[in-house]
Amino acid sequence: MVVALNDVWKTYSTGKVKFDALKGIDLQFKRGEFVAVAGPSGSGKTTIMNIIGLIDTPSRGAVLIDGRETASLNRDELTRMRQEVIGFVFQSFNLLPVLTVFENVELPLLLGRKGSRSAALDKARRKERVERLLEEVGLADKRFNRPAELSGGQQQRVAIARALVNEPAIVIADEPTANLDSENGTRVLDLMKKVNAEYGATFIFSTHDKTIWEMATRIIFLHDGKIERGAATA
Ligand SMILES: Nc1ncnc2c1ncn2[C@@H]1O[C@H](COP(=O)(O)OP(=O)(O)O)[C@@H](O)[C@H]1O
Ligand SMILES: [Mg+2]
């Protein structure tokens, strides 16, 4: 099991008001799965994606990545796991505007810590890997452009290349198509599916769009912080 959530709860506190955004989530993901987390706005999709992506921690319950209980990791180990095991694609692309497309994709390789896999890559190896990924997402000819010179769909394809550059075991995409029209949204999903098949990484993406969630091999339906159906692995 590449990811497991055991009785995960998330409680947000605003002043004296407490709100349970996740209420006892039990989930497992196998290597290479292409899973949609579906549900209406406010159902807890972003909360669950951030917890799986180690951006946020549960209030209760356990998150296991590659069989390791993440609560027992120290800060450095957690950062390292986030950088090396997980790739993240955001709803709003989150590319750095001052960097070129090439530099945006290369960035995670430069953030690798001393002794990490990516820190061992020299400039020529980094260039080779970034260019291969830009080929893969169909944007090799845009490598010297800035994000603002690209369409939304192209920016999201750059973000997918960036998420893959460290060869993560898991790619998390929180509503990756929410800011795209349906044609570009489908293209982005087609690309995610292609790289899922080629690299074998587990893809977990959230969406409230039916046409998108139907492209998944498994759909997990969230409602008010609980799983309605889809918890069992295929
Ligand atoms: N930082 C926060 N503080 C308080 N409540 C929050 C916070 N983040 C999310 N929530 C609440 O938790 C619920 C789930 O939010 P979220 O995970 O963003 O859902 P979704 O991504 O499905 O729209 C919502 O009711 C939202 O208002
Ligand atoms: Mg959300």
Q: Note the pTM of the prediction, 2 decimals.
A: 0.93
Q: How far is the CA of 87 from the centre of ligand 1 (A)?
A: 22
Report the pLDDT averaged over residues 96-100: 98
- The model's confidence at residue 33, banded by pLDDT at 50, 70 and 90, is very high
Residue owning tokens 């579906």: 38
The CA-based angle 180-186-189, given to 5 degrees, is: 100
pLDDT at 197: 93
Q: Is the CB of 13 under 6 A from ligand 1?
A: no
Beta strands 60-65 and 68-69: pairing type? Answer: antiparallel
Q: What integer best gives the mean pLDDT of the chain?
A: 93
Ligand in closest contact with the CA of 174: 2
φ, ψ dihedrals at 172, nearest 5°: -105, 130
* Nearest to 199, CA basis, from 232, 144, 161: 161
Residue range 157-208, pLDDT digits in tens: 999 999 999 999 999 999 999 999 999 999 999 999 999 999 899 999 999 8
Q: With a 6 A CB cut-off, is 44 part of the ligand 1 pocket?
A: yes
Read off the tokens for 119: 């820190």
- Residue 119 is predicted with a pLDDT of 66
For ligand 1, whether the C-beta of 144 sits within 6 Å is no
pLDDT at 118: 65
| pLDDT given for residue 233 in this prediction | 60
Q: Does the beta carbon of 89 sit less than 6 angstroms from any atom of ligand 1?
A: no
Q: What are phi and psi of 128, to 5 degrees?
A: -60, -45
Strand order in the sheet with 86-89: 86-89, 170-174, 202-207, 34-38, 218-223, 226-229
Give residue 8's pLDDT band: very low, low, confident or very high (50, 70, 90): very high
Taken in order of first residue, the domains within the chain and their CATH numbers are 30-57+74-229 (3.40.50.300)
